Amino acid sequence: MKIATWNLERVEPHTPQAERQHSWIQNIDADIWIFTETDEAISPGLAYSSISSGEPDRPARNGERWIQIWVRNGEISLVPSSDQARTACALVTMNTGHQCMIYGTVLPWLDSTWQNYSSRDAFAAALQHQQADWQRLMETHPDVPFILAGDFNQDLNELPYYGSRRNKQALRQALADSQLECLTCGDRDPVRRVTSGQHSNIDHICVSLDRGIEFVESFAWPAKLDALRGISDHFGVGVGVTLRL
């Protein structure tokens, strides 16, 4: 099964940029999509159903959303999350009978605020808030694989790329404390791979340990930085996984 996440850079539907993105979305052919900085009118296809976050916590046009989760040929139901603007959570049942919980997020970037927190504290505060969600959801659904994905605005590699040392350590600790494994950092970072080490990934896919998810591969698109021009300011990132019943 393919799971993919992509920041669509607040694309407007029915524009040349949206059409170029759609071509890539069709080519990647993921079973589950987590779009960030998206629009409710942007769909991967007729076979998909979706849920989205609520009204954005910033000025936005009608239809804009921080998060939209799409599943192909399956059932999807909204699960409440505590930050309805920046996160969305869905319980997904695939037509194979496999279930998983998908939690989509956009964490604050450098120099951005969140709720009443200054830019210095916004990332850590939002992360702590969301971590409580992850742990609550995993406790209430102990037999369901948990998948956390979206725009983390923070690399997780040894060499610094984007974010801060403080935020990186906080994110690493939150994932470890929640027993979540990042499938898109370190040796599995597909952005470092396609850019020959010049860039690192800040959009991640993380999964719960020991809940029936087996990693197969990670991948990113397009194949080089120059090809992003006119498409998005983020690489798309995906993983292939196997789910066990």
pLDDT tens-digit series, residues 60-96: 999 999 999 999 999 999 999 999 999 999 999 998 8
Asked if the bond preceding 160 is cis, omega within 30° of 0, the reply is no
CATH code where residue 30 lies? 3.60.10.10
Look over the chain and give the mean of its residue pLDDT values, rounded to a whole number.
96
Helix (H) or strand (E) holding 69: strand 64-72
What pLDDT, on the 0 to 100 scale, is given for residue 129? Answer: 97
- The residue segments making up the domain with residue 148 are 2-243
pLDDT > 80? residue 8: yes
Instruction: Tell the residue number behind the tokens 């939002």, with chain if given.
Output: 126
What pLDDT, on the 0 to 100 scale, is given for residue 210? Answer: 84
Spatial contact of 79 and 141, defined as CB atoms under 8 Å apart:
no
Spatial contact of 99 and 145, defined as CB atoms under 8 Å apart:
yes
The dihedrals phi and psi of 65, each to the nearest 5 degrees, come to -145, 145
Asked if the bond preceding 222 is cis, omega within 30° of 0, the reply is yes
| DSSP code at position 74 | E
Q: In what order do the strands lie in the sheet with 2-7?
A: 48-52, 64-72, 32-39, 2-7, 236-243, 213-221
Count of domains forming the chain: 1
The dihedrals phi and psi of 61, each to the nearest 5 degrees, come to -80, 165
Q: In what order do the strands lie in the sheet with 146-151?
A: 74-79, 87-94, 99-106, 146-151, 203-208, 180-182
pTM above 0.85, yes or no: yes
Name residue 207's amino acid.
V
Share of the chain above pLDDT 70, in %: 100
Mean pLDDT of 45-72: 97
| DSSP code at position 117 | B
Name residue 176's amino acid.
A
pLDDT digits (tens, 9 = 90+) for 136-173: 999 999 999 999 999 999 999 998 999 999 999 999 99
What number of CA atoms fall less than 13 Å from residue 56's CA on the CB side? Answer: 19
Spatial contact of 30 and 2, defined as CB atoms under 8 Å apart:
yes
Mean pLDDT of 3-28: 97
